[in-house]
């Protein structure tokens, strides 16, 4: 497997250059004047950042019949050349690997889904290497070079160290995944929490584009939350910012796998819903599809379980809004398949719990398949790459 050429210099760029690059990535084609407005950088700083990035080919200028100059400065829009580099994004669930090959603009070129052969780190790594080999072959076929890999895993992930501290669905503790995967593949690997990775993609390309403050709440096997504050995806000092699934809402409630009682996740995540549906009905309900069938068949006991789950999620969202005051909360995740059953509970609990004008926060749903989560993993690899693009490259 191939990494960047060893003859290619890659010292870190300036923060201004990274900011300019990501602004063009999200909003391009965009003029330098608009870049300055959005980044609040001076025109001189924008020009200083744009010129070398154009010289090495990561930014290109759109020159058409309307090409013009403004007071000696180019007024043509610039954009990222997506073909300049390729990236692999991998989302690891408890059962499968979802992987995408994306270009520098994070556009998905091809995708793969393969079942896990096992959950032990060695088995997962073997599956990752196999799917990577497949996607590298695809990259070769289109004449591109993969410059980095992003891996998104649920749970407590230390991105800076590349370590999965704890992943409940994989039952991992303290696995140095970035180092292991990097050694096995010869590629630069970035590992991050899956919800944070998805949040970055939404910030750059999705429902969070143009917003300086928003939250992404995911509902499904777990309850997660990604946060963007002042235009940055935040993980906090210890890497666990946004863990609303472990907000305790009922001290006498069910035991959570984290060891506490009454966490949002212990009430509203898919396993909790299935547990409570079985308890409420006394039936050996096999899976969530059967639980949904019972609920939509107007079984009041099952509908009450979903209503409680919605209330727990709504209270958790209100806590986020009361503390951080985001412009928007995006609700996503595989649990949206049942959204009609707990939407009213979410809205009612949010309205009761939100303080004052915080109630006006925009709550919006956005179905995002796992391919989009893998795209988020690719976005984390692109972010790492942006941070290391040289201002003067040799090939």
Give the chain's end-to-end CA distance (angstroms, integer). Answer: 19
Distance CA 191, CA 285 (A): 36
Burial grade of 298 (CB within 10 A; 0-12, 13-18, 19 or more)? exposed
Residue range 21-28: average pLDDT?
A: 93
Q: CB atoms < 10 A from the CB of 112, how many?
A: 19
Mean pLDDT of the chain: 91
- Pair of tokens at residue 326: 């985001």
Considering only CA atoms, give the Rg of the chain: 22
Q: Locate the domains of the chain by residue range.
A: 15-82, 84-199+372-386, 209-365
The C-alpha torsion from 183 through 186 and 192 to 197, rounded to 10°, is -160
- At 79 the three-state DSSP class reads strand
List, for residues 269-304, the tens digit of each pLDDT value: 999 999 999 999 999 999 999 999 999 999 999 999
Strands 362-365 and 96-103: unpaired
User: Quick one: fold of 209-365?
Assistant: Nucleotidyltransferase; domain 5 (3.30.420)
Matching fold, domains 15-82 and 84-199+372-386: no
List, for residues 68-104, the tens digit of each pLDDT value: 554 555 578 999 999 999 999 999 999 999 999 999 9
Is residue 190 within 8 Å of residue 200, measured between CB atoms? no
* Strand ordering across the sheet containing 156-158: 156-158, 163-167, 172-175
Is residue 238 within 8 Å of residue 224, measured between CB atoms? no
CATH number for the segment(s) 84-199+372-386: 3.30.420.40
Distance from the Cα of residue 242 to its chain's centroid? 13
Cα→Cα distances 166→119, 169, 171, Å: 13, 9, 7
In sequence order, the 6+-apart residues with CB closer than 8 A to the CB of 314 are 345, 346, 347, 348, 349, 350, 351, 353
Q: How confident is the model at residue 128 (pLDDT cuts 50, 70, 90)?
A: very high
Q: Give the side-chain half-sphere CA count within 13 A for 82.
A: 14
- Pair of tokens at residue 8: 């290619």
- 3 pLDDT higher than 50: no
- 260 pLDDT higher than 50: yes
Is residue 10 within 8 Å of residue 390, measured between CB atoms? yes
List, for residues 137-192, the tens digit of each pLDDT value: 999 999 999 999 999 999 999 999 999 999 999 999 999 999 999 999 999 999 99
Angle at 220 between CA 218 and CA 222, to 5 degrees: 80
pTM here?
0.91
CATH number for the segment(s) 15-82: 1.10.10.10
Please choose, from the candidates 191, 237, 236, 234, the residue with its C-alpha nearest in 3D space to the C-alpha of residue 216.
Answer: 234
Q: What pLDDT does residue 5 have?
A: 37
């Amino acid at each position: 497997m191939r990494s960047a050429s060893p003859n290619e210099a890659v010292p870190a760029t300036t923060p201004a250059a990274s900011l300019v690059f990501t602004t063009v990535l999200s909003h391009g084609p965009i003029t330098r004047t608009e870049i300055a407005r959005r980044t609040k950088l001076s025109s001189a700083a924008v020009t200083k950042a744009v010129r070398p990035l154009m010289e090495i080919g990561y930014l290109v200028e759109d020159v058409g019949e309307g090409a013009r100059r403004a007071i000696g400065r180019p007024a043509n829009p610039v954009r990222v050349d997506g073909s300049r580099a390729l990236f692999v994004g991998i989302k690891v669930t408890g059962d499968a690997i979802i992987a995408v090959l994306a270009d520098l603009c994070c556009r998905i070129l091809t995708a793969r889904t393969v079942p896990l052969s096992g959950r032990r780190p060695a088995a997962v790594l073997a599956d990752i290497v196999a799917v990577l080999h497949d996607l590298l072959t695809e990259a070769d076929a289109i004449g591109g070079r993969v410059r980095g890999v992003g891996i998104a895993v649920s749970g407590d992930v230390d991105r800076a160290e590349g370590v999965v501290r704890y992943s409940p669905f994989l039952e991992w503790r303290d696995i140095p995944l970035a180092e292991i995967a990097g050694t096995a593949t010869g590629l630069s690997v970035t590992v991050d929490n899956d919800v944070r990775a998805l949040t970055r993609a939404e910030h750059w390309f999705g429902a969070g584009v143009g917003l300086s403050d928003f939250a992404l709440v995911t509902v499904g096997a777990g309850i997660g939350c990604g946060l963007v504050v002042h235009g940055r995806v935040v993980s906090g000092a210890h890497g666990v910012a946004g863990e609303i699934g472990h907000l305790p809402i009922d001290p006498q409630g069910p035991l959570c796998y984290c060891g506490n009682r009454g966490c949002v996740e212990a009430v509203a995540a898919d396993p909790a819903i299935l547990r409570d549906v079985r308890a409420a009905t006394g039936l050996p309900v096999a899976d969530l599809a059967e639980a949904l069938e019972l609920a939509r068949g107007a079984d009041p006991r099952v509908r009450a379980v979903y209503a409680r789950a919605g209330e727990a999620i709504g209270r958790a969202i209100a806590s986020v809004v009361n503390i951080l005051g985001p412009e928007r909360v995006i609700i996503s995740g595989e649990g949206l398949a049942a959204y009609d059953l707990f939407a009213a509970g979410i809205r009612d609990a949010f309205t009761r719990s939100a303080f004052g004008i915080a109630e006006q926060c925009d709550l919006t749903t956005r179905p995002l398949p796992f391919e989009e989560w893998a795209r988020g993993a690719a976005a984390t690899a692109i972010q790492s790459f942006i941070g290391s693009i040289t201002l003067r490259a040799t090939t």
